[in-house]
Amino acid sequence: MKTNLLKSLFAGALISLSGTSMYAQSAAPCNTSEAEQKIFAKYPELIQQTADYEAQLQQLIEAKKQMKAAEQVYTIPVVFHVIYVNTAQNVSDANINALMNRLNLDFRKMNSDTALIAHGFNAIAADCKIQFALAKIDPNGNCTNGIDRIYSHKTYLGSDESKLNPWPRDKYFNVWVVDNIPSDGAGTTLGYAYKPATVQYAPMSNFDGIIMIYNQVNGNSRTLTHEVGHWLSLSHPWGDGEINVACGDDGVTDTPETKGHFSTCPSSDTTCGGIEQNINNYMDYSSCTYMYTIGQKDKMRAALESSVAERNNLWSVANLAATGVSPAGGPCAPKADFSANRSVVCVGGTVTYTKQITNGTATSTKFYLDGSTTPISTASTSTVTATYNTPGVYPVALVATNAQGTDSIYKTSYITVTNAYGDFQGNGYQESFEDQNSFWYNWRVNNMDQNPNTFGIANVGYNSSKSAVMEGYNNYFEDVDELISPALNLAFVNSAVMTFQYSGASRATSAAVANEALKVYYTANCGQTWTILGGGTMTGTNLANFGFYNGYYVPSTASMWNTKTINLPAAACVQNVRFKFVYETGEASNNVYIDNININGAVGVEENLNSFALNVYPNPSSQMSTISYRLTEKSAVKLEVYDVLGKKVADLANANQSEGAYSVEVSKADNNLKNGIYFIRLSVNNAVTTTKLVITD
């Protein structure tokens, strides 16, 4: 006998809210039930709303039965948001089209494997008369192919926070494709979706749609077929609990009670009351799913006819025209964009560029890669790799073309190529952030999600007027931003120590949601890999040392700052090392300030570089800079200026000099220096150190 779905759903939500889960938590291909239970815990008012919605659907189903009218085929506009970092995650247009074809075959009962439906269930296998089409017009009225490609690390989060750039859910069915979806246990979660009643609540509207992992985007996968069932109100056949625990029910009249089948396909199963189970149902986890029932069809169509979560507008004549689905829009000109796997490399390093072309499929592309060994590439592959052998800062451009038109994008100062040696002597290195021009020239800010909140310069510091600030105030949860140092030479430094001052606050009122973090990494191979420093992680109240502050936090006294000390490993004491400060925004973050970064250690006997105290100021300079250094004994000294191509452009000193302090002026006009980056090279008795000089207008 069928159980009462409303009672079981209501009770399950209450048990979850009381702190004891009704079901053991284990990984499953679909995470819908677990995701919805978490939302019920966060928004308990949804429990009654969900019960009301289920009752409304039953009324719609009964009303339709009485009408006995011909059923309209409902067409749903779809957009795929491909969230990627690497090539594999950036699934092809062809794979998306193949998955769409599979979805339509399954929902229209045109799949060839219906012949395999067992135990007479083929008699109730339904043509749902629901079909799906990629949108041809985007929310701004522009031509699109229904595929939105977004370069973002949030592909690895696989949560609601990965659902970037949602298109209006009353016009489009949003599908997000990510690298992975975290599981509560062992195994792999393939996807999840919220039912309409869950996302009707305003805070949830931007999460309406399906999220799935990229290796399920192909013509053989039925993950999307399963998840669309949830998106249109269906439960698993055993209900909203865990599979293989007890005989359960989904509230649909023609789906028998079942415990479910996990990656198996038994020839028969009558363990629940002696009734044959519908092993071939798309909402089961079996390895042989081929059908929806008539009852499931009726419930999904009722969901599309309900105004809850605005499903009833999707298939309207006006919306199909507005989204370019009917009448069908034509192909679009491509919109060019690209991403790179790194922005800083050493001489001889490689950069891999990934094409991020949207709107239309390009029939030809051309990369302009100034400074590389392949300055022009017309390769048709989705990625292009370039090698850089010459120091400098270079632009990158991409042109994409098809029969409908051409588009291009040009990114200035996109790739920085540095010498094998660091631009600054690391021992005794200090960054006080007082010189904003120097900061923007020598440091790099990676705004990973391209939103307004990222690292910058604040007009407040630790006993000073400036510091670096990460604006966590009202930032997006799980946003990540990076602040990357200049290249430092620590090759002759032992027992190096990094110290800095920091001041932070949080808007979180409990430790559970004070989950912001600051992590410090280093790279000893020009950014190919980054390693987190031991002791370089600060989270929660350790980072938010000022504690709770609901307004826009700005430290006003020295007592509001703490000192962080990190012992650098020997692996970081190399001739070219960079450090990276990574901020991960929490659920209720506020601002964090960083000041007075210092690196000090014992200098090895091979080269007492720190005794030179080489310094250049002002830097950057528009006209004249002063170079200062100190000798501890009489020495043979050479002071030279080189450009980024390694060509010597000025001799400033070449003589034997006595012990003492020296200063030499370098003039932009007198030395014929153009705007750009130069390197000051100081040689003392054949021991060499360099530092960077930036010439500006």
Instruction: Report yes or no: 405 and 333 within 8 Å, Cβ to Cβ.
Output: yes
Please say if the pLDDT value at position 42 is more than 70: yes
- Residue type for 378, please? T
pLDDT at 645: 64
Q: Rounded CA gap, 344 and 488, in Å?
A: 13
Instruction: Express each pLDDT in 283-330 by its tens digit.
Output: 999 999 999 999 999 999 999 999 999 999 999 999 999 999 999 888
CA atoms within 13 A on the CB side of 295: 15
**Predicted TM-score (pTM) of this structure:** 0.74
Looking at residue 258, the DSSP 8-state letter turns out to be B
Tell me the domains of the chain and their CATH numbers: 5-240+293-322 (3.40.390.10), 338-418 (2.60.40.10), 424-603 (2.60.120.260), 609-695 (2.60.40.1930)
Q: Produce one character per residue of 103-130: b if its CB has 16 or more CB atoms within 10 Å, e if not.
A: bbbbbebebeeeeebbeebeebbbebbb
Instruction: Report yes or no: 427 and 490 within 8 Å, Cβ to Cβ.
Output: yes
* 143-152, 165-174, 434-443, 644-653 — most confident range: 165-174
Locus of tokens 């992992």:
213
Work out whether strand 210-213 and strand 578-584 pair parallel, antiparallel, or are unpaired.
Answer: unpaired
Q: Rounded CA gap, 234 and 299, in Å?
A: 7
Q: Produce one character per residue of 172-186: b if its CB has 16 or more CB atoms within 10 Å, e if not.
A: bbbbbbbbbbebeee
Instruction: Report yes or no: 151 and 193 within 8 Å, Cβ to Cβ.
Output: no
Instruction: Report yes or no: 364 and 377 within 8 Å, Cβ to Cβ.
Output: no
Alpha helices in 362-508 (DSSP H): 436-442
CA distances from 372 to 347, 367, 396, 412 (A): 10, 11, 10, 15
Please say if the pLDDT value at position 27 is more than 80: no
Sign of CA dihedral 239, 242, 244, 247: negative
Residue 622 pLDDT grade (very low, low, confident, very high; cuts 50, 70, 90): confident
- 608 token code pair: 């007492």
What average pLDDT does the segment 521-550 reach? 93
Instruction: Report yes or no: 202 and 180 within 8 Å, Cβ to Cβ.
Output: no
- Residue type for 648, please? K
Please say if the pLDDT value at position 5 is more than 50: no
Name, in order, each residue with C-beta under 8 angstroms of 677's C-beta and a sequence gap of 6 or more: 392, 393, 441, 643, 644, 692, 693, 694, 695
CA distances from 468 to 54, 515, 581 (A): 52, 21, 11
For the chain, helix (H) and strand (E) counts, in that order, are 11, 34
3-state secondary structure 198-209: HHCCHHHHHHCC
Q: Rounded CA gap, 530 and 519, in Å?
A: 11
Locus of tokens 């006209």:
623
Looking at residue 486, the DSSP 8-state letter turns out to be P
What average pLDDT does the segment 67-76 reach? 85
Please say if the pLDDT value at position 609 is more than 70: no
